[in-house]
Amino acid sequence: MQTLMKPQLCVRSEQATDDYLQYLRQMNISHCFVMFSNEHSNYEDVNRILEKLRRQGFTVDDAGNGFLYKHLSIHLGLEDRDAWIDKYNDLNRILGQAGVPVGYIGNSRVSHTGYFASEATHGALGRTVDMEEILRRPPVTEKTVEEAELWAAFHYLLERALPVAKEYGMKLALHPSDPPYPMYEGYASLIHSGDCYRKALKMADEIAPGVLGMKFCCGCWLEGGKHFGDILADLREFVRARRVLTVHFRNVSCPLPHFTETLAEDGYFNMMRIMRVLVEEGYDQAIYPDHIFQTDEKTGGDMAQFAYAIGYMKGLMAAAYDEQNR
Ligand SMILES: [Mn+2]
């Protein structure tokens, strides 16, 4: 079936083996993103890995290094941030030169209470957030970083990151804070609502129009519930504005303050409704199942989890395209 949107899975740089690429290929997956380890975030390794993927028929939609683009010194504006921004920009130069169209930009923090088995997960270990527990945690930094300081640090980053991305023909995708709650662990969250995204995009466009985009994380939108926004209306708005560079197709048991990640089919939101909006709006970028349960080899491992998740997602996608074509 010809589809506009591109189902993708992750290839970690140390995972780009012939066997792993065959695993992707046999699920009819030809798009991926690459998470480069620190060891592989250099010119030679990036180009070697990208060439291998392309030689085997894969399109790399986006790529980055989680250690660099999520670095707390950058996002909290700590003293040593310039050195980290330089390293981050250097990798974007390498990726852009190699033809990767989308890179990443912070401040996508991730916290959770733990991985727990429950009815909502059918006994698997699912990522669980108990906001009351997280709010009791001590600050991770010496001094609290309030919202205004966090946005100032983001502006500082944008001024340095956007011109480099623009020069190298890249867009940068911004993920929400997860959980999307305004302040915890001693520092503010950048993106905890649709309005935070609107503010970030406006700020970025004043520096370099159209370079900043988003990882539209359905999971975070659903975690935040009404506080985050109206997921279907927001998705429509940002897809129309060509700001969605990838979609994270993920469901949760209920909105904050206490949720567990679930299979796409049995969280509180009907994911088919999201798929319909994407098809109706002619969304033509990447879509990714995002998180999986924590498993071990005895219960099939990560590869089984991702195979199930992508198969279910592609099934909904096929159904949504079929509805439209009737
Ligand atoms: Mn996500």
What is the Cα–Cα distance from 30 to 52, expressed in whole angstroms? 13
**Residue 108 pLDDT > 80:** no
Residue 203 Cα to ligand 1 midpoint, Å, equals 22
Residue 326 Cα to ligand 1 midpoint, Å, equals 32
pLDDT recorded at residue 120: 96
Domains of the chain: 6-321 (3.20.20.150)
What are the angstrom distances between the C-alpha of 172 and each of 93, 102, 210, 241, 309? 12, 6, 10, 15, 26
The neighbour count for residue 322, using CB atoms within 10 Å, is 11
Residue 307 Cα to ligand 1 midpoint, Å, equals 18
Residue 124 Cα to ligand 1 midpoint, Å, equals 20
pLDDT recorded at residue 260: 98
Q: What mean pLDDT value characterizes the chain?
A: 97
Are the C-beta atoms of 194 and 226 separated by less than 8 Å? no
Residue 99 Cα to ligand 1 midpoint, Å, equals 24
What is the Cα–Cα distance from 158 to 211, expressed in whole angstroms? 10
The DSSP result for 245-288, as a single string, is EEEE--EESSSTTEEEEE-GGGSSS-HHHHHHHHHHTT--SEEE
Tell me the pLDDT tens digit for each residue of 120-146.
999 999 999 999 999 999 999 888 999
Residue 244 Cα to ligand 1 midpoint, Å, equals 13
pLDDT recorded at residue 37: 98
Residue 265 Cα to ligand 1 midpoint, Å, equals 17
What is the Cα–Cα distance from 207 to 203, expressed in whole angstroms? 7
Are the C-beta atoms of 129 and 113 separated by less than 8 Å? yes
**Residue 59 pLDDT > 90:** yes
Query: Which percentage of the chain shows pLDDT scores above 70?
Result: 100
Residue 274 Cα to ligand 1 midpoint, Å, equals 15
**Residue 107 pLDDT > 80:** no
Q: pTM above 0.85?
A: yes
Quick one: which of 277, 283, 287, 280 has its CA closest to 234? 277
- Sign of the torsion formed by the C-alpha atoms of 292, 19, 7 and 181: positive
**Residue 30 pLDDT > 80:** yes
pLDDT recorded at residue 141: 87
φ, ψ for residue 113, nearest 5 deg: -80, -35
Residue 45 Cα to ligand 1 midpoint, Å, equals 26
Which has the minimum average pLDDT: 41-45, 107-111, 183-187, 218-222? 107-111
Under the banding of pLDDT at 50, 70 and 90, the label for residue 80 is: very high
Residue 39 Cα to ligand 1 midpoint, Å, equals 24
Q: What is the DSSP letter of 169?
A: T
**Residue 113 pLDDT > 90:** yes
What is the Cα–Cα distance from 222 to 226, expressed in whole angstroms? 8
Extended strands (E) in the chain: 6-12, 31-35, 59-64, 102-105, 114-117, 125-130, 171-174, 183-184, 187-188, 212-217, 244-248, 251-252, 258-262, 286-288
What is the Cα–Cα distance from 283 to 7, expressed in whole angstroms? 12
Residue 248 Cα to ligand 1 midpoint, Å, equals 5
Residue 218 Cα to ligand 1 midpoint, Å, equals 7
55-62 average pLDDT score: 98
Residue 207 Cα to ligand 1 midpoint, Å, equals 26
220-224 average pLDDT score: 98
How far out from the chain centre does Cα 147 lie?
A: 22
37-46 average pLDDT score: 98
pLDDT recorded at residue 133: 98
Residue 175 Cα to ligand 1 midpoint, Å, equals 7
Q: Which residues contact 108 (CB under 8 A, 6 or more apart)?
A: 70, 174, 175, 176, 177, 178, 191, 215
Residue 104 Cα to ligand 1 midpoint, Å, equals 12
Residue 246 Cα to ligand 1 midpoint, Å, equals 10
Residue 220 Cα to ligand 1 midpoint, Å, equals 7
Under the banding of pLDDT at 50, 70 and 90, the label for residue 119 is: very high
